[in-house]
Amino acid sequence: MARVAARLSTEGKQSTHPVDEVLPLPKLALYGFQHVLAFYAGAVIVPIIVGNALKLSPEQLVYLINADLFTCGIASIIQAWGIGRIGARLPLIQGVTFTAVSPMIAIGLGAGGGTAALLVIYGAVITAGIATFAFAWLPAKAFRTVMRLFPPVVTGTVITVLGIVLLPVGLNDAAGGLGSPDFGDPKHFAYAGGTMLFILVLMKIGKPFLSSISILLGLVGGTAVAFLLGDAKFGDVGKSDWIGVTTPFHFGVPKFEWFPIVLMLIVMLITMVETTGDTYAVGDIVGKDVDSETVARALRADGAATALGGVLNSFPYVAFAENVGLVRMTKVKSRFVVVAAGVFMIILGLLPKAAAIVAAVPHGVLGGAATVMFGMVALAGIQTLAKVDLKEEKNALIVGVSLAFALLPATVPVFFTKHMDADLSSLLNSGVTLGATAAIVLNLIFNGLAKDDAHDTPRAGTPAVAGAGDDTPDDGKVAAAVPAQAASPAPGAEKADDADASPSAP
């Protein structure tokens, strides 16, 4: 293994920074698997929700889950290990971003659903990933200008909108899955309510690690009860192969359409803010200086992973806030623990039977867990807005009007489906897109670009879903949502230290 960064100890001898420490193999395996447990539910829930919305077959859904886990593992290794000037070399787990769920569903439904919809989504994902990767190499001034579009009033609004828009997705699953013959059957709500109650109890009385995997345990417990009552079917598990390899362009050659690409570029702008916040957050936790080059390397890893995701039948990637909270709780700072977690995820991604078990989770159980997760995303946005002066009328208008725009597709869907061109509808028929665009435009009108010193909020993590396990004083369960780092240094703006700027892989 190549040289790792070293620092001078108080005795004048060289010592390895905890981030670069290679722990003994048993500890690497144990701590790495712990990261997988904290991450797993959030990782698999996105392909399940998107796949169900697009009416994919059980076999196609199993493939999506495997592809997601496989690519998550590769992306996490790139981010934590580092390849040249790609990857932050910090303990950051990469996962599919929730920001993309609603836009991808809108793109997919606009393309008619099924695997044909996946091809349009993947074309947009690959293009957005390449654009993000290229953006992270831009000069400092261009990088800083874009990030100044996202002051706290914008990011807080966008995060709140994201949670609110996703809540109906979770509630539809809680009702049995939109379009299912028994949609709205009380038994589905019973499973959802039981799962939700179990998760909340775990978060209330459980120890920190137990809270961090409460979503996963809720899914397992709810599915077990449904199986005992005859409502969870695992017939597809027996039909699935033991080993399955994710191959590029499994569903066909991606289609590159302008409107879906524009929509996915907006998604990636938001994920850049999330990753920037997470990079600073984990840097503070592990005691590692985060400079402009570190942020740029993290964003390059995001872009590379997202483009790779489109090739390997997965979705856009972002640094996962859940695992930032876990690093804070456990105080295990080694980035090689994340590398070990990446290896575990790659192995899981090669096991179709494991994915088939996940795909068999009943809609009601999934809806109960998803509703908790999405509700906590909305709460994280509200926590961010609490740092904004909403007594200032212009800020209040930005938030209020943006929320109204975000609710338009859900409240008046006929406007988009019957009175709008199909391509334009695929772009605008998304609460996240409309809400985020409204927030950015209104902020420019009322406040203009944020100044470089406009952010006086502390650097911390981006919004976390339930089970993040953060120990912030606000609620003890959710990672603090601290938004855009418009004031943070841009790539190339300052010289990285020798260890961070080294172009060689660790």
Q: How far is CA 137 from CA 484, 490, 492, in A?
A: 19, 10, 8
Contact 467, 377 (CB under 8 A): no
Question: How many CB atoms within 10 Å of residue 200?
Answer: 14
How many angstroms separate the CA atoms of 43 and 94, rounded?
Answer: 9
Contact 337, 32 (CB under 8 A): yes
Tokens representing 132? 């993000």
Contact 223, 361 (CB under 8 A): yes
The SS3 assignment for 22 reads: coil
Looking up tokens 């697009």 gives: 54
Q: Which residues contact 58 (CB under 8 A, 6 or more apart)?
A: 236, 356, 359
Tokens representing 212? 């961090």
The SS3 assignment for 15 reads: strand
Question: How many CB atoms within 10 Å of residue 474?
Answer: 14
Residue 478 has pLDDT above 90, yes or no: no
Residue 147 has pLDDT above 60, yes or no: yes
Question: How many CB atoms within 10 Å of residue 25?
Answer: 9
pLDDT in tens, 404-420: 988 888 788 788 777 77
Split at pLDDT 50, 70, 90, the class of 500 is very low
The gap from C-alpha 301 to its chain's centroid, in whole angstroms, comes to 14
Half-sphere exposure of 128 (CA within 13 A, CB side): 32
The SS3 assignment for 456 reads: coil
Contact 372, 234 (CB under 8 A): no
Contact 278, 155 (CB under 8 A): no
Backbone Cα Rg of the chain: 21
Higher pLDDT, 317 or 421: 317
Closest-CA residue to 165 (of 439, 366, 377, 363): 377
Question: How many CB atoms within 10 Å of residue 247?
Answer: 11
Q: What was the pLDDT predicted at 469?
A: 36
Split at pLDDT 50, 70, 90, the class of 236 is low
Tokens representing 240? 């699935």
Q: Which residues contact 38 (CB under 8 A, 6 or more apart)?
A: 209, 212, 213, 216, 322, 323, 326, 467, 469
Residue 455 has pLDDT above 70, yes or no: no
User: What does the angle CA 413 – CA 414 – CA 418 come to, to the nearest 5 degrees?
Assistant: 130
How many angstroms separate the CA atoms of 493 and 506, rounded?
Answer: 23
Split at pLDDT 50, 70, 90, the class of 488 is very low
Looking up tokens 């109204």 gives: 404
**What is the chain's mean pLDDT, rounded?**
75
pTM: 0.67
Helix axes 393-411, 431-446, angle to 10 degrees: 160
pLDDT in tens, 323-355: 666 676 667 788 888 899 899 889 888 877 776
Phi/psi at 45 (5° precision): -70, -30
* Greatest CA separation for the chain: 73
Q: What was the pLDDT predicted at 264?
A: 86
Phi/psi at 468 (5° precision): -65, -30
